[in-house]
Homo-oligomer: A and B are copies of this chain.
């Protein structure tokens, strides 16, 4: 008897499928082809770290009506059978000569009319997780059908989180909250940064993370120059600002927020930057509402930093969050996406300090009809100091 509720009950996935099919109808799609870890998990509940291996492609076909079909490597059959998906077709991947393409072709051919339209995500923030050459074989084998971009179909559905999803993201945030509270226990003047990264990951796991997909950070005098590097063994020094950022995972759902700590008493420069970031964020938390566009958030944060005495950095100042570390939309000057109730978002303003360095501040929130609800525990108004 299969356990048909790996992360959520089947009803959650049925609702998602129905929402996708509504959008597919509007877009005139006869099938939706999904290949990414996130999209496959979203529709089926199939959750595994096995995506780390690039050896095998995985396919989910969502028909215009009816339940999705899984076309997957045989090694995944046992796990997929425990999801709500009943129609599971496998091949003994990896097969150099035909790695599932004939099986996928037959599946799509049976589900769509001769002149049908097959959608797959081809747009911003999407990738096709299968060999490009195999995609071209598939297109030729189904040459009477059109392959069209379905980014919006997937995006507009995934962007709006169900209550069950929000609970999962909140749980993930709470794990990171608990780990951040322990940072002063393992980071102080003299601690090498790479050891801080290691102990922070241990703290996330010890507080309940299933795994830690992302940790980044930095440390330097009054700020850091870069927020994506691995940690060097450089010891933390008096006057450094230490930043840690994580996308750790619980039940397939990410948090994504950072925290800053002054090593020794914070300088006036660091305090001013943190003050500007905290109050700019606070202002947006107090005013954000559905109908704002993504670019409005960028503008509000940038203006807020200036108003509160800081110098805004450029770049993306936040984004969507859920089953990947970052999701649509992006808080940039160019993203016109209208924000809707049900979106889970990060606010991630940055403030320049000196010598090309910066401080970045981040919170996670759910946008409701009446405004944001914080999912991360609000960072303290005053920059925390680690003085031992």
Interface residues of A (CB under 8 A from B): 36, 38, 47-50, 52-55, 74-76, 78-79, 82, 92, 94-97, 99, 120-133, 135-136, 149, 151, 194, 197-198, 201-202, 205-206, 208-216, 225-230, 247, 314-316, 319, 324-326, 330, 332, 334-336
CB distance from A36 to the nearest CB of B (A): 8
CB distance from A340 to the nearest CB of B (A): 18
Closest 10 CB pairs of A and B: A122-B133, A78-B226, A122-B132, A50-B228, A53-B326, A52-B214, A52-B325, A48-B228, A128-B132, A55-B326
Give the complex CA separation of A128 and B330 in angstroms: 22
Q: Is the CB of A225 within 8 A of B94?
A: no
Q: Is the CB of B124 within 8 A of A127?
A: no
Dominant SS among interface residues on chain A: loop
Contact of A131 among B96, B122, B227 (CB under 8 A): B122
Chain B residues contacting A334 (CB-CB under 8 Å) are 95-97
CB distance from A355 to the nearest CB of B (A): 13
CB distance from A124 to the nearest CB of B (A): 6
Q: Is the CB of A79 within 8 A of B228?
A: yes
Closest residue of B by beta carbon distance from A198: B205
CB distance from A86 to the nearest CB of B (A): 18
Chain B residues contacting A75 (CB-CB under 8 Å) are 227-228, 315-316
CB distance from A214 to the nearest CB of B (A): 4
Closest residue of B by beta carbon distance from A216: B49
Q: Is the CB of A201 within 8 A of B194?
A: no
Closest residue of B by beta carbon distance from A210: B230
Give the complex CA separation of A290 and B139 in angstroms: 38
Additional 17 contacts, C-beta under 8 A, given A92-B332, A127-B131, A210-B230? A38-B54, A48-B228, A48-B230, A49-B230, A50-B216, A52-B325, A54-B326, A55-B316, A55-B326, A96-B335, A122-B132, A133-B149, A198-B206, A198-B208, A205-B205, A211-B212, A211-B215
Do A205 and B215 form a contact, CB below 8 Å, given A127-B127, A127-B128, A128-B127?
no
Chain B residues contacting A215 (CB-CB under 8 Å) are 49, 211
Give the complex CA separation of A228 and B334 in angstroms: 40
CB distance from A290 to the nearest CB of B (A): 20
